[in-house]
Amino acid sequence: MKQTLAQTMFDAGVRVEKMFWIGGVCAEPPHEFEEFVEDDLADCSEIMSQFPWLKAAMEFSSSAEDILPEFAIREIDGFFVQLATPTPHDFFENGYSASWGSYRLKWFFCSTLEEIADRATTWQKEVVERARAKAAA
């Protein structure tokens, strides 16, 4: 039986902190999306590398109202999603401890909900491996 996207996210220990669908924020960007564009987007190296034109556009203006038409012109649809996963610690033979009292955040751009789940799973494994390596050092 195929696993649901919700089950995939649950099993990975990843939650969605914030999510903006480009098609849903184009008409009138909500304040939260404006804050994301103005305060966080330029620092999201992975997103910026996905869209090389975005860096130049943001040098001209970091306003959500100016950036969104650039996505429409290029016919790009999808989701800006901020994922969260607990910070692993206390590693042992078959696992580790983790708590939502301490967690990592990262922004992604994904075209589909399935891609969000895939990226969440991959990213969570990377977080665990980096923490495991740091603990072993």
State residue 105's pLDDT score. 96
Q: Quote the mean pLDDT of the chain.
A: 91
Q: What is the mean pLDDT of residues 55-63?
A: 86
State residue 109's pLDDT score. 97
- Residue 12's domain comprises 5-136
Whether residue 94 has pLDDT greater than 90: no
Q: Which segments of the chain does DSSP mark as H helices, in order?
A: 5-12, 22-25, 31-35, 45-50, 52-60, 64-73, 113-136
- pTM for this model (two decimals): 0.90
Please list, in sequence order, all residues whose beta carbon lies within 8 angstroms of the beta carbon of residue 87, skipping any fewer than 6 positions away: 98, 102, 103, 104, 127, 131
State residue 1's pLDDT score. 60
Domain count, the chain: 1
